[in-house]
A and B are shown apart, each in its own frame.
Chain A
């Protein structure tokens, strides 16, 4: 399960030697005395949450920091000191001996150039190939990184490719001159999980076949544990711990590493105080179809082309009992958010119905609609975008209370501060506006606002996907406590099967607007029936020891 590295490589001279490097921007020190080495042919993981400086150290190694950054310490690549290199010397090194790929492949490709040309450029530059030779090789490289019909794809522009394909193109350009070190900065974070697994597989192959050393930067310890031989854990610009991957995961020394490991999704099984009841389900979705009209412009009208509406949801049936926590899993575009939006009446159903307590919600209006609003609430994905930037936390939480006439404005503020306390936020934060809060704090405010109306059903749509893992673990902890205390019915939507299965009793797996599999969470995770679910489960990067722990729970 651990990385593919043979220990013998560890001996010998380091390929990249970073000694005592600090980086300062103006008055803020973003890196403090960082030292580590990368040996030829090994895969080293650099783990850390946002602001840990993991990207900065790699950009420093490539000389890619802006000129305002002040770098001290020593960086050596293959015994060559990189400090004070001129532009010409850097040009010889970058793309030739050390290459880099980035988190968001879409924005890192030049939109105006064909991808074949973009892959060819480093080879023309460094290997002195002619344009046509380089383009031929680019096609070969596209094939090597697993792109079908490479000759045709080489003539595509970036916007014609999917996210995963764009990242493969970036990788092809990076390995085109056979570099010895590849720095991969969160290369799979912007991609769907199944695509992520394939890209990581590709990186592993490149390492094995070409002896390419890789520095893999990721926030996801699971990913790192899967393919790295060594892991470096960073926090607040410092290295807190580094060592063999197995040792970091199984026997972390530093308390932060331990926290990070424990916060990994699926590490903890949340207890749910839920008993099956015989009565009719609280929420029922029957044969739900939601269509989005295709845009038809004037030319289409002239050519008499029919608009083909796109079915975001295509015949979905599901039921949620009172007090139950149900997970909805799917990749982007699977229709899981459309479902949430339809339940809160932001979308209209083309056919089918959503029933709350046996009553269809589609026709509700006036008083009854307000009643629905009070019973069903939602927490949104993006912590900053989900709060009005001009209102303080307390105002945001209090607004629904007085607008629904449940109290006057003064009393509403009182209740709001109680809610603030309930989501474990200090009272002082109540006067702050969203941009003065951290992502996790914003998300807590969002939860408090949703609970202000004391709803029965809470829909959580990807509420932790924009947060760091440790914060995610805390938010899940909070949500688990709240559902217990308030007997909430929860619909938990996520792309992350491991989170969903640790947090929910039942799971529905969505794909392209349909439910492909459903059942008890544990069963879906351990014994998936459908091919797609199996693929999802296989692409999970579970930390070692995790499965054993789970099986214990099952018994």
Chain B
């Protein structure tokens, strides 16, 4: 359990770092921070009120203490535009994003695994070459463009799917978010396939596979019991990175399809210079990524005896 303790301590340090970075983010803005936070059209009274509220005339470290204290109390700021706490905003906008994320994973993971296995079963075959090329090519597709094209073709053209919004019922969500989820999935599949394929091929050529073969194990048994578990480890570690990727992807796709999710909120707040919301969202996205990475580390420690030391 040493590893858990170690990871938790590391986690605390990283979280502290995240707080500092997000705090500094707003203070990096050129000009008077009070004016920046208040927005362009704010009256001098509002600006003064803000200065008072955030104590912007105090030294930086005191401000940070206030900020960190607020974070502990669950207060990550106030939206200037919506006049509501950021936490409440996130609570409102998070569901479409969560739904979309889950949807993308459901659409992306099964074909990725299937393609990677098909590719790695016979490395160098025509199918493998093709899948590999798709993997590289996938990197080059701008996801927002793909979104626009698909909404034009399947939405506007064929009328199969709505081109914006989120809907009301579960079935509605599935229907509304299909195109956004598909465009993100198309963009994610190549990344997944590439790494999984590489891991599978590397492990399939490993010495312990030759040894298993020499002990009379069949190819099927070798693949499922030896190659796959060993290839899972590097892929698992990629998961944290992928979640970070996915967050970036959904920000763009939500904007394209006008999904009322966190991505849309982020972009709109940026354009409206609603910095407290930007700050809060950045903090939340970072904490999410760190949390996923933490869980992944624990899971791989559970699978891999070498990581348990």
Contacts and interface: CB of A to CB of B under 8 A. Distances in A.
Interface stretch (B72-80, B166-174, B211-219): B211-219
B216 A94 contact: yes
Given A159-B306, A298-B10, A99 B230 contact: no
Contact of A107 (B5, B6, B9, B206): B206
Contact of B217 (A64, A102, A125, A297): A125
A90 B214 CA distance: 9
Nearest to B210: A64
A159 B307 CA distance: 11
Contacts of A157: 305-306
A104 B216 contact: no
Given A107-B207, A108-B208, A126 B216 contact: yes
Interface in A72-102: 87-88, 90-96, 99-100, 102
Interface string B212-244: 111111110000001001100000000000000
User: For B208, B211, B214, which residue has the most chain A Cβ atoms within 10 angstroms?
Assistant: B214
Contact of A102 (B5, B207, B216, B305): B207
Contacts of A91: 216-218
Interface stretch (A109-117, A193-201, A222-230): A109-117
Chain B, interface SS category: helix
B304 interface: yes
Contacts of A104: 207
Contacts, number: 78
Contacts of B71: none
A93 B217 CA distance: 10
Chain A, interface SS category: helix
B291 interface: no
User: For A90, A112, A122, A125, which residue has the most chain B Cβ atoms within 10 angstroms?
Assistant: A112
Nearest to A170: B211
A43 interface: no
A313 interface: no
A410 to B, nearest CB: 47
A504 interface: no
A122 B6 contact: no
A298 B303 CA distance: 24
Contact of A159 (B226, B230, B305): B305
A396 interface: no
B306 A100 contact: no
A64 B213 contact: yes
A66 B35 CA distance: 70
B211 A102 contact: yes
A375 B215 CA distance: 55
A464 interface: no
Given A298-B9, A298-B10, A125 B216 contact: yes
21 contacts: A64-B213, A87-B219, A90-B216, A91-B217, A95-B214, A95-B216, A99-B214, A100-B214, A107-B208, A110-B208, A110-B212, A111-B208, A111-B306, A112-B229, A112-B303, A122-B215, A157-B305, A159-B305, A174-B215, A299-B5, A302-B9
Interface of A: 62, 64, 87-88, 90-96, 99-100, 102, 104, 107-112, 121-122, 125-126, 157, 159-160, 170, 173-174, 297-299, 302
